[in-house]
Amino acid sequence: MKHGIRRFPALWRATRLARRWYHARYDAYPDWRPSLALRRGLWDSARRAAQGGPRVLMATSVGSYAHAVTLESALAAALTFRGADVHVMLCDGMSACAECEASLYPDISAFTAHGPARDLCRDCRWPAEEVYATLGITVHRYGDWIAAAERVEARGIAADLPFDRIEGYTLDGLAIGEHAHAGALRFFATGSLTDEPQAEPVLRRYLESALLTAFATRRLLRTIGFASAVFTHGIYVPWGIVGEVARQERVHVSTWNVAYRKRRFIFSHDDTYHHTLMSEPRERWENLDLSLAQERELTQYLSSRREGLFDWIVFHRPTHQAPKEIAARVGVDLSRPVVGLLTNVSWDAQLHYPANAFPNMLEWLVRTCEYFAARPELQLLIRVHPAEISGFPPSRQPILGELRKRIPVLAPNIIVVPPESGMSTYGLMSLCGAAIIYGTKMGVELTSVGLPVIVAGEAWIRNKGITHDASSPEEYFRILDRLPFTERLGAEKLARARRYAYHFFFNRMIPLPFVEPKAGYPLYRLKLDSLEQLLPGASQGLDTICDGILGGTPFVLGDRETKVPELADSLS
């Protein structure tokens, strides 16, 4: 999620004055001065009381991530009101980070030569630093915690380590190479570095930056002594490395990301939500007893997902179409069994998942197409994720192009709906008797309306006792051999799927009433009428988050949830 100015590299590299004007004009960062002016005594008293309290590190790191600064500054204030001594960590210049993307560098050799130092780094830190300075919160810069010898060491390792050993490289047990590799994939917006001529120098930049992040974080945590660290994502460089070090130093980790639903966020303990949502204890949801009102609420929200009425991000807004019309448009024969297949964006969150049946999404897709070519009695309907072209950054490795390299001509029973199509994914899946997924989140929605789902990768619906989960190619093809499924999910499994869907969409996605959606970048702004909105007891969502950060309680709402305004209005 990036602001429109980032799509024009020349403009993004404009002067500091122009960028200051941009941030001020478009309200990218929160201005805490009005709220503090109204209740200066309350805030000063809270800060004094928090001295000596449990230290919490907001590892914001990338200052130009305005949406992270917005939320994390609010959490910093809320945690201060709860007695925490909050500090912040900001990067003041690295060789590569999550802010860097190939789309910003028409000449990637300029990036490999200089990194972001000549453009992105110049004005990354100061907006965030000003926000935290207004609150009077201690800010630590990466550079202040890296010794000269460590800079030499990082540079040497990044230059000398054999290229084929970088992804698996560890330092003192820290998975440095994994996050550096994920960062490089994100930079190129591709699922593989194989065909990127500049892959090696870019990956080496991310390796050096990952090492420096580890050195800075380790020294800061050991010197100051923190009880907890909070940051977004929990993957890539720098946040994945911060998480690796914090866990090793026995500092409690809380990661977050923007949820599907407006005004809501997903928080996780100890690791990125990409991992934790697959492994969280089942007892948190499988015994939910949904009331009729909650069932209606879930049904209405799932219906709204077709047009994204209550969501932050919508990849397209399809018009309503009848199943027969959809089938005719894409060439599906409704007299024969149809199996859906949903891809995801190839570069997103490329981490190690030991339960995956295949090493990557492309291999899964190729092997699946080969399988269906030998099953002409079935039709395979492939829907390529719209975010390949509508997301930011757009993928530089379209999955169909990669598929054609391996299978130039698909079997006639395989039908492909490309990412640019305005066809509704929900409408397409309504034609199917089953769906196959790798890492898409759609599995939660499809099972909750009764569609059987086969999981070959790291989808969050895995391990819930709802889907057909494959952990090896052999297991995967044994499941496919049972197709076509003759029935949809039975009543018991459907009820289980809906309990999990309610847990996922309503209890794991935590609302913050003082976060207001807005057009442009970032997706939201703070709308605080008073500092009292951040006090304990003012918001169940905020209490849930702060209690989790400070006390390790689950980041799961209870039964007393306050509805999000849009959905509440629609239900009234």
Tell whether 461 and 497 lie within a shared domain. Answer: yes
Give the 3-state secondary structure of 358-387: CCCHHHHHHHHHHHHHCCCCCEEEEECCCH
Digit-coded pLDDT (tens) for 535-552: 999 999 999 999 999 999
* Residue 403 CB coordination number (10 Å): 20
Number of domains in the chain: 2
What was the pLDDT predicted at 560? 40
Digit-coded pLDDT (tens) for 60-74: 999 999 999 999 999
Give the model's confidence band at 125: pLDDT under 50 very low, under 70 low, under 90 confident, else very high: very high
450 inside domain? yes
Tell whether 399 and 415 lie within a shared domain. Answer: yes
Tell whether 465 and 544 lie within a shared domain. Answer: no
Give just the sign of the alpha carbon dihedral 427, 432, 437, 443: positive
Tell whether 275 and 352 lie within a shared domain. Answer: no
Tell whether 494 and 517 lie within a shared domain. Answer: no
**Interstrand relation of 515-517 and 468-469 (parallel, antiparallel or unpaired):** unpaired
Digit-coded pLDDT (tens) for 417-456: 998 888 888 899 999 999 999 988 899 999 999 999 999 9
Q: How far apart are alpha carbons 39 and 383 in whole angstroms?
A: 53
Tell whether 312 and 427 lie within a shared domain. Answer: yes
* Total-model pTM: 0.88
Give the model's confidence band at 391: pLDDT under 50 very low, under 70 low, under 90 confident, else very high: low
135 closest CA partner among 79, 217, 91: 79
Query: Does residue 394 register a pLDDT over 90?
Result: no
Average pLDDT over residues 311-323: 60
Containing structural domain, residue 138: 4-157+211-279+510-571
* Residue 377 CB coordination number (10 Å): 9
Query: Does residue 13 register a pLDDT over 50?
Result: no
Contact 540, 561 (CB under 8 A): yes
Q: Where are the beta strands (DSSP E) in 52-137?
A: 55-61, 85-90
Share of the chain above pLDDT 70, in %: 87
The size of the chain, in residues, is: 572
Tell whether 218 and 332 lie within a shared domain. Answer: no
Share of the chain above pLDDT 90, in %: 72
Digit-coded pLDDT (tens) for 283-309: 999 999 999 999 999 999 988 877 655
Tell whether 131 and 8 lie within a shared domain. Answer: yes
Q: Where are the beta strands (DSSP E) in 335-482?
A: 338-342, 379-383, 414-417, 434-437, 453-455, 468-469
Digit-coded pLDDT (tens) for 144-185: 999 999 999 999 999 999 999 999 999 999 999 999 999 999
164 inside domain? no
Where helices occur in 226-360 by DSSP H, the ranges are: 241-248, 273-279, 292-304, 323-330
Average pLDDT over residues 347-372: 80
